[in-house]
Structure 1
Amino acid sequence: MLTSSIRALVAFAMMASLTACQTLNDAVSRSADGGAPAIVGQTRSAPAHGLFVAAANPLAVEAGLAILRRGGSAVDAAVAIQAVLGLVEPQSSGLGGGSFMMVFNAGTGEVTTYDGRETAPSAATPELFYENGTPLSFMDAVLSGRSTGVPGAVAMLGQAQKDHGILAWSDLFGDAERLARDGFVVSPRLAGMIALTGGQARTEWANAYFTRPDGTRYVAGDTLRNPAYAETIAALAREGAGALYSGPLAQAIVDTVHEGPRPGALSTADLAAYRPVAREALCRPFRIYVVCIPPPPSSGVSLLQLLAMAETPVAARALAQGETSPQAWTMFAQLQRLMYADRDRYVGDPAFVGVPVAGLLDPDYVADRAALAPGLTGSASAGTPPGGIFRAPDATQEPAGTSHFVVVDARGNAVSMTTTVESIFGSGRMANGYFLNNQLTDFSFTPTTREGQPVANAVAAGKRPRSSMSPVIILDQQGRLVGAMGSPGGSSILAYVAKGLIGTLVWGLPVQAAFDLPNLVAKGPGFGADTSRFGPTLQAGLAANGIVLAPNTSENSGLHGGIWRGDHWDGGADDRREGVARTD
């Protein structure tokens, strides 16, 4: 198992940053009459402990807590939570999708990233989504068999549970199997997705699953049963994670991908060859904390870049004005524009392209980028970080259909996991009782090169598409657990998680209040937002700064997580979803 001890990093980071933090804290701490201070000075006398689960559905939360009460580890609980989420929240994640998991080991201080991102079939080419020399429309690509990559979530959970599990793997699926056999109550959010009149909600597979015996669609409050899912769960419990990647379960996936028009090339050999990757977590100081995220192909490096820009003096002074300040929100928007421009140019699968991680986080480069924020108008252009090969801007579209959850066990071990089938109900195709992902549409639709320049996120055989999933683990200067959070939301995940971090660690808000803040997403020239949550005074102040808000038309945030506040978990579950945060 590849893990990363962060103790040396913490010591180095804090020595390098404490002097800067003193100046920074002078700039960003609120004045005596400026509201509650941020929590940057908080210290703890003992490691965090106490059971904690935050997830997007109460049934999944209860399944996780049940495992923890039996003495299971955070990773044990994560297996149970994902198994239930895939049943009760199939529009967002499932056994047919992929994920990134961050694991904190309280005993060793190590943070490990588990990469369960899907991979392209061995037969995939850069023209995967072309037909007669012309790119397919995005929805045609999503609904095709070509959109499905090898599912990675189950294999990743299997590996992580081998490394960090306490209970037997076979004992982690009882709630999911029971709910699938006996039925679960359709939630309002799922009912809303079932009621959609097109796309993945109206494929032959979705119609068969979501239509009641009387010919009408299931609605909120109905009981929905999924015996095929129960059989799959039973097989996984009995045979292990590998059951999904060989034998009848794997063959069913391949058969479904090959059905209908525009079949995919996924093979049983592709499934058998899949391996999750344990990677070193990417950790950097922020104020007096250390924020850890997955490295590429996750876009977490871009989140760290935004946080680093936020610590430069001009940005820090603006952000320090707080959550009611137009100047703070304006700076937040401009930093996002710079972040996304660089992300879209440079981030991809590091097994195929060189990603200038160190260059994107280089202090001089960060300072130069942040200096552009106050005068930025229109779309931001990508910079040229040290070690970066200038690449063509890609044509990646990244819809939302994702979930996030956080678990802390009694020993202080933690999981922060973002999980997805990509779009709502993935490709709309089902096998073994679950939806298959359309994750390959996270690749750029343009060829490998454009105007002679390589595209970092182009399709290639065996490649993992770039992801915005950025599960976060937060540590203090002693390397102890402070918190964890993450969000769904497609490419907007970076903006949502950044808001959660700034709201809690800079503005000093309770976690729930930080998550419930308005969302503001700045990619390209426009500003998507929860316009109804920005009051008229704040909207007018933003407009005076050139930030004219428009309703965010993509799927919204679903932040889940918590911060350790001295002797308890301060948890939050985004009120835009149906989740809960519970301690025990």
Structure 2
Amino acid sequence: MIRTSFILGCVSALALGPMAAAQDPAPEQGYGWEEKNSVTGTDFMVAAANPLAVQAGYDVLAKGGTAADAMIAVQLMLNLVEPQSSGIGGGAFMLYWDASTGDLVTFDARETAPAAATPERFLDENGERMPFVQSVSGGQSVGVPGILRLMEVSHNLYGKLPWSDLFQSTIETAENGFEVSPRMANSLQSTVDREFPLDLFDGAKAYFFNDDGTPLSAGTMLKNPDFAETLRILSTDGADAFYSGPIAEDIVAAVNETSVLENNITLQDLADYRVKIRPAVCADYRGYDVCGMGPPTSGGLTVGQILGMLDTFDVKSMGWTPEFAHIYSEAAKLAYADRGLYMADSDFVDVPTKGLLDKGYLADRAKLIDAGKASEKRTAGDPPYQESALNLAPSQNPGRPGTSHIVIRDSYGNALSMTTTIETFFGSRVFVRGFLLNNELTDFDRAPKDGDRLVANRVEGGKRPRSSMSPTIVMKDGAPYFLVGSPGGSRIINYVAKTIIAVIDWDMDPQDAIETGHFLHRNGSTLDVEQGTSAESFSDALTAKGHEVSARDLNSGLHAILIKDGQLIGAADPRREGIAMGQ
């Protein structure tokens, strides 16, 4: 049994702060493939999406900092050098293993809807959904950010190094400049190629584009003095300087200036923001406890459901075959059907968490899988332990890619797995004081109901939108064994579940597990296989079973640490720029 902790007594003392089918955008444009090897250490390890960010975290750990300290340094640098994916204008979910107490603590720093937001927020005058691009671009999509409060809370609970010290490497890099990475340049170009403009508003246009209107290219030396000044204020005055005062005033002003809607975030919304401590969601798989975040993210539950159904199959003997890809995809379809109906912010919706992971329920769902034939689109099941009779309509919101993942294990035995986001790549396009604001409100369903049935993930004031983020810590014998997570929108769940299976069932090195080709199903019309990988070779066999197969770029960004036999084995996805470093 894994002990999870709410640490509610600590929360008040540690300043959490005042209390029809949707368009499915493609994942981030393919960046390429960098050959990588796993990294081994015995003292500490960190893996994240950019070498400069990993170096910042490594330096903190080498000075005796904790995983919480290193997370702050990594996240701040990611904001600077990978601004398209995460930053202080966004939110996160984090699992933290406290080695001193044996507690697994989960932190919800998800962005929050304005108090005045209504379910009809993204409907036009005819009651139709606003086009996605129109919904995203501008202050109407911005939720109250949570990252700074998460940094503050985790540092108060677990930090050892001075708060201000953790900001210095990013401040110096912002002032002195850094080279635009190939992936950042690729992301900038994709906003032009896909007609998903980043240069709508003056702030982002001035920072990310040349004077002739072309996006910055790889190798360009870029400085961000505004961000350096913002961080200097926060390093001195703490997170309160973000949630009230001049920075907060500038955020609200930028939101209102760029919004096409009313009832946007206010100074009061910022002042009221709270990080929430929630129970971990843990599912048994082959004797391991696979632990993730519960609602408002769907990640922990859906990963747990997929694994719970596959626990009834001999996946080990199947191996890496089309037969496994078929069984896996059928389990994923069933899990995503439940996800679409039941999962949302549990402060607003009675999510049957216990029932969705009930072993008997999942065994019954697994019996629906035909080993020889693909099913039609699945409908949600009827899990036990429902706290209320639900009469809900399925979600039509796919979830967008624009996220990053961090894993850290420190020299004290503490460990964290954190997925961080501004939602779509480059968020709302609103750039203020050197950082981008999220577009998290488009993670709500834009249509609040289907006929007379409400959608669980509809917009409501003060609500947190459903996510697919799946930060995971796999526990073995009561201690962390495997830390893993990924960006990728609603594909994240599949990326994480497949990687866990590769490590547990096939005893793969984490680097090899990450590099296996992706296949995934989200209970839509297609089974996606990753083009150019061994997974694409499964296409004919899967088509013969009745699947509609689509070969495409599946640009995950997995990062992982395996803790085994006294060693820390770090791994980073070859599909992106991240690395692992340790000692």
1:138 is aligned to 2:137 = no
Name 2:436's counterpart in structure 1.
Answer: 435
Q: Which residue of 2 aligns with 1:304?
A: 304
Match of 2:413 in 1: 412
TM-score by length of structure 2 reads 0.89
For residue 36 of structure 2, what is the aligned residue in structure 1? none
Is residue 402 from structure 1 mapped to residue 403 from structure 2 by the alignment?
yes
User: What are structure 1's unaligned runs of at least 5 residues?
Assistant: 7-47
Partner Cα separation in structure 1 for residue 455 and residue 129 of structure 2: 16
Partner of 1:355: 351
SS at match of 1:173: helix
- The percentage of aligned residue pairs carrying the same residue is 42
Which deviates more, 366-375 or 428-437?
A: 366-375
Residue type at the aligned position of 1:166: K
**Corresponding residue of 2:31:** none
2:111 is the counterpart of 1:111: no
Q: State the Cα deviation string for residues 491-527 of structure 1 (Å, max 9, x = none).
A: 1110010011011111211111111111112122211
Question: d(CA) in 1 for partners of 2:500 and 2:538?
Answer: 21
SS at match of 2:198: helix
Q: Secondary structure at the match of 1:494?
A: helix
- Note if contact 2:395-2:457 (Cα within 8 Å) is conserved in structure 1: yes
Aligned to 1:481: 480
Pick the aligned partner of 1:154 from 148, 156, 166: 148
Match in the other structure for 1:293? 292
Are residues 403 and 377 of structure 1, via their aligned partners in 2, closer, same or farther at CA, if it must alter by over 3 Å?
Answer: same
The C-alpha deviation readout for 1:194-238, integer Å capped at 9, x for no partner, is: 223132423223221112356543211111111111011111111
For residues 457-477 of structure 1, what are the alpha-carbon distances to aligned partners after superposition, in whole Å with 9 as ceiling and x for unaligned?
010000000111110011112
How many angstroms does 1:344 deviate by? Answer: 0.7
Q: 1:338 aligns with which of 314, 334, 339?
A: 334
User: What is the CA distance between 1:52 and its match in structure 2?
Assistant: 0.2
Q: 1:253 to 1:538 in 2, by over 3 A?
A: same
Query: Hey, what does 2:92 align to over in structure 1?
Result: 99
How many angstroms apart in 2 are the aligned matches of 1:504 and 1:287? 12
Map 1:41-190 → 2, pairs under 5 A = 50-132=43-125, 133-190=127-184
How far apart in 2 are the matches of 1:216 and 1:139?
21
1-structure distance, mates of 2:197, 2:417: 28
Q: 1-side partners of 2:247 and 2:398: how far apart?
A: 30
In the alignment, the residues of structure 1 paired with residue 241 and residue 113 of structure 2 have an alpha-carbon distance, to the nearest angstrom, of: 20
* CA root-mean-square deviation: 1.7
Tell me what 1:45 maps to: none
Q: How many Å apart are 1:280 and its aligned residue? A: 1.9
* Distance in 1 separating the partners of 2:502 and 2:455: 34
Cα distance in structure 2, aligned partners of 1:235 and 1:397: 37
- Give the 3-state SS of the residue equivalent to 1:532 in structure 2: coil
Of 221, 226, 229, 1:228 maps to 226
- Specify whether residues 520 and 537 from structure 1 end up closer, same or farther in structure 2 by C-alpha distance, changes over 3 A only: closer
Aligned partners of 2:82, 2:392: CA distance in 1, in Å? 37
CA contact (8 A) 1:319 1:332 kept: no
Q: Deviations over 1:81-136 (max 9, x none)?
A: 00000110011001100000110011221100010000000110000111213220
CA shift, 1:153, in A, is 1.2
TM-score computed with the length of structure 1 as normaliser: 0.89
Q: Distance in 2 between matches of 1:552 and 1:116?
A: 32
- The one-letter code sitting in structure 1 at the alignment partner of 2:252 is V
* SS of equivalent to 1:54: strand
CA deviation string 1:43-68 (max 9, x = no partner): xxxxx952100100000000001111
Could you tell me which residue of structure 2 aligns to residue 372 of structure 1? 368
Aligned to 2:528: 528
Output the CA distance in 2 between the equivalents of 1:549 and 1:565: 37
Q: How many residues align?
A: 534
Distance 1:408 1:128, change over 3 A: same
SS of the equivalent of 1:406 reads: strand
SS in 2 for 1:4: coil
- Indicate the SS of the match to 2:254: helix
Gapped regions of structure 2 (runs ≥ 5): 7-40
**Any conservation in 2 of the 1:200–1:424 contact (CA below 8 Å)?**
no
Q: Shift in Å at residue 379 of structure 1?
A: 1.1
Alpha-carbon shift at residue 298 of structure 1 (Å): 1.3
Which letter maps to 1:226?
A: N
Shift of 1:139: 0.9
Q: Within 1, Cα distance between the matches of 2:538 and 2:128?
A: 45
CA positional deviation for 1:563: 0.8
Rounded to whole Å, the distance in 2 between the matches of 1:183 and 1:450 is 50
Query: Which aligned pairs between 1:218-257 and structure 2 lie closer than 5 A?
Result: 218-257=216-255
- Counterparts of 2:575 and 2:170 in 1: how far apart (Å)? 24
Q: Within 1, Cα distance between the matches of 2:322 and 2:391? A: 34
Determine the structure 1 residue equivalent to 2:260.
262
Between the aligned partners of 1:102 and 1:157, the Cα distance in structure 2 is: 13
Letter in 1 for 2:56: A
What is the one-letter code of the residue matched to 2:217? V
Q: Between 302-311 and 366-375, report the one with greater CA deviation.
A: 366-375
2:503 matches 1:509: no
Partner Cα distance (1:513, 1:226) in 2? 37
1:451 positional shift: 2.9
The alpha carbon displacement at 1:450 in A equals 2.8
Query: 2:318 aligns to what SS in structure 1?
Result: coil
CA distance in 2, matches of 1:446, 1:538: 36
CA shift digits 1:435-484 (9 cap, x unpaired) = 1000000001112x43332311010000000111110011112x112120
- Other-structure match for 1:12: none
Letter in 1 for 2:495: Y
Alignment partners' CA distance in 2, 1:372 and 1:571: 37
3-state secondary structure, aligned to 1:563: strand
Q: Identify the match of residue 385 of structure 2 among 381, 387, 390.
A: 387
Per the alignment, in what secondary structure is the counterpart of residue 108 of structure 2?
strand
SS at match of 2:483: strand
Q: Deviations over 1:161-192 (max 9, x none)?
A: 11111111111011111111111111100001
Find the residue that maps to 1:464 and give its secondary structure.
Answer: coil
Amino acid aligned to 1:462: G
Give the distance between the partners of 2:198 and 2:545, measured in 1 at CA.
Answer: 41
AA in 2 matched with 1:452: D
Cα distance in 2, alignment partners of residues 583 and 173 from structure 1: 21
CA contact (8 A) 1:426 1:437 kept: yes
Whichever residue aligns with residue 137 of structure 1, its letter is P
The AA in structure 2 aligned to 1:272 is A
In the alignment, residue 163 of structure 2 is paired with which amino acid? W
What is the aligned partner in structure 1 of residue 549 from structure 2?
549
Distance 1:404 1:200 in 2: 25
- Measure the CA separation in 1 of the matches of 2:316 and 2:351: 29
Native 8 Å contact 1:144 1:263 kept in 2: no
Deviation at 1:382, TM superposition (A): 0.9
Q: CA deviation at 1:350?
A: 0.6
Q: Supply the distance in 1 between the matched residues of 2:248 and 2:551 (Cα, whole angstroms).
A: 41
Q: How many angstroms does 1:528 deviate by?
A: 1.7
Which deviates the most, 289-298 or 487-496? 289-298
Secondary structure of 1:258's match?
A: helix
How far apart are 1:274 and its partner, in Å? Answer: 0.4
Structure 1 residues 244, 465: CA separation in 2 closer, same or farther (over 3 Å shift)?
same
- Go from structure 1 to structure 2 and tell me whether the alpha carbon gap of 1:338 and 1:256 turns closer, same or farther (over 3 Å shift): same
Secondary structure of the equivalent of 2:100? coil
